[in-house]
A and B are shown apart, each in its own frame.
Chain A
Amino acid sequence: MDLNPPMISLNSLSPLIAAGGLNAPELPSLAWFTNSIFVALIVTVGVLLFTRMATKSMKLIPDGKQNFVELVIEFLYNQVEGIVGKHVAPKAFPLLATIFIFVITANWFGLVPGVGTIGWGETNAPLSIEHMETPLLRPATADLNMTLALAVVFMFVWLWVSIAELGVLGTFLHIFGPKGGLKGALMWALMPIFFFVGLIEVISIVFRPMSLSLRLFGNVYAGETLLATMQTLGTTLGFPGWLSAISSVAFPLPFYFLEILIGALQATVFALLCAVYIKLSTSHEEH
């Protein structure tokens, strides 16, 4: 396994590059069960338990958790409805909201102290390691497998929503058909161009999962790298031990706030782009 890919030059942060727990301890029959999947399961259970507690005995006049969950869901629904329209919103909303809630929770869970910083590595003292090689917990969205899984599941739902809205032929015509309400000879004359544009569209659709997943993975991974760099900056600059200990807390602190913002921003961008893709594929041409 390549823990230090050439494209990443921060050798000291090699364990962080092992997104997806490539370097995690692997049990023979549970090779797929990595530290990031473990975190994904924790996030999943946390989100599901919280929402279940909030919605178990719903009241007409909400309070506490129910109020919070209703606030979030109503806000998200209004946003989704505003982008994809009233007709498509009921079909598109569950996945878009799931993506947003899961991604933002996973991103923020990655900022919990200990996630990515407790694990195995070269020890320099009892209960202390020089460099983290295999973290116990890895942020789920710093794993390309997770971000790609989100994107691929979205693409399947996107395809289902598009076909449910326009039909198979309608979806085909939406991609390859004439646009701008052209009719007659001009339409037939421009047909090859429309077909070519359709091919380009198909290529862009095929690459959407990659762009979505790599964007999220890259941002979260970069955030992890930044925090780890700031944490070890004192040591790198040769500070004395006590100053290095203080700087390992003080230097990353402002970037934690930045990462909180970026965690929310990336969840928003991911969900927003998904909503726009649905909108683009389900909007009816005006004839």
Chain B
Amino acid sequence: MNDILTTFGLDWGKFIAQCLIVVVVYIILSKYAFGPVLAMLEERRARIEAGEKNLKEVEENMAKAEQKVQALLDEANGDAERLIAEARESSEALRSQKSQEAINEAQAIIEKAREASKLEHQTAMNELKRDFGHLVIEATSKVTGKVLDDGDQKRINEETAGQVSL
């Protein structure tokens, strides 16, 4: 074995020197390369993991917020529908009330007009009866040539008014 190793150039001095080189490379790479790089990889992995976790939390919060928004929207829709229904009912009642008031007012106006008309008709009739009475009295006095006294005139007026039915 020794002969083989010597033939291939094995020398303890050179061998120890090479061992030292290997150990130095091993130590320095471990400290200044592998350590920092593995730490950085671990930090990056932890950050990605934390990011994933945060993302999951954000998604959960978002889902909860969406549910909350949906609930609020549903509630708002319910309120809006209720308000619309109330407004519709209120407007219907108001419309009905106003219509009734208008009808009543119109009826009152009509009634008033009717009464005024009736009164006017009555007045006109009275005036007509009186004028007709005067005409009958005048005609009677001219036909008979007699001056009619107040009693005659009153009787003729009453008879005329009684016979005229307008």
A contact residues vs B (CB 8 Å cutoff): 2, 5, 7, 18-22, 31-34, 37, 40-41, 44, 47-48, 51-52, 54-55, 58, 60, 62, 69-70, 73-74, 77, 93-95, 97-98, 101-102, 143-146, 148-150, 152-153, 217
Contact = CB atoms under 8 A, between A and B. Distances in A.
Q: Which of B5, B11, B34 has the most CB of A within 10 A?
A: B34
A interface, by DSSP: helix, strand, loop or mixed? helix
Contact of B29 (A33, A47, A70, A74): A47
Nearest to A217: B8
A97 B16 contact: no
Interface string B75-111: 0000000000000000000000000000000000000
Contacts of A18: 9
A108 to B, nearest CB: 16
Interface in B1-42: 5-11, 13-19, 21-26, 28-30, 32-34, 36-38, 40-41
Contacts of B30: 94, 98
B47 interface: yes
Interface in B60-80: none
15 contacts: A5-B7, A40-B18, A48-B32, A52-B33, A55-B36, A74-B41, A93-B34, A143-B14, A144-B5, A144-B8, A145-B15, A145-B17, A145-B18, A146-B22, A150-B18
Given A5-B7, A20-B11, 12 more contacts: A20-B9, A20-B14, A21-B9, A47-B29, A60-B47, A70-B37, A74-B41, A94-B26, A97-B34, A98-B22, A143-B9, A144-B10
A193 to B, nearest CB: 28
Contacts of B29: 47-48, 51, 94, 97-98, 101
Q: Which 10 residue pairs across A and B have the least CB separation, nearest first?
A: A149-B18, A20-B9, A32-B13, A51-B33, A94-B30, A149-B19, A145-B14, A5-B7, A145-B15, A146-B18
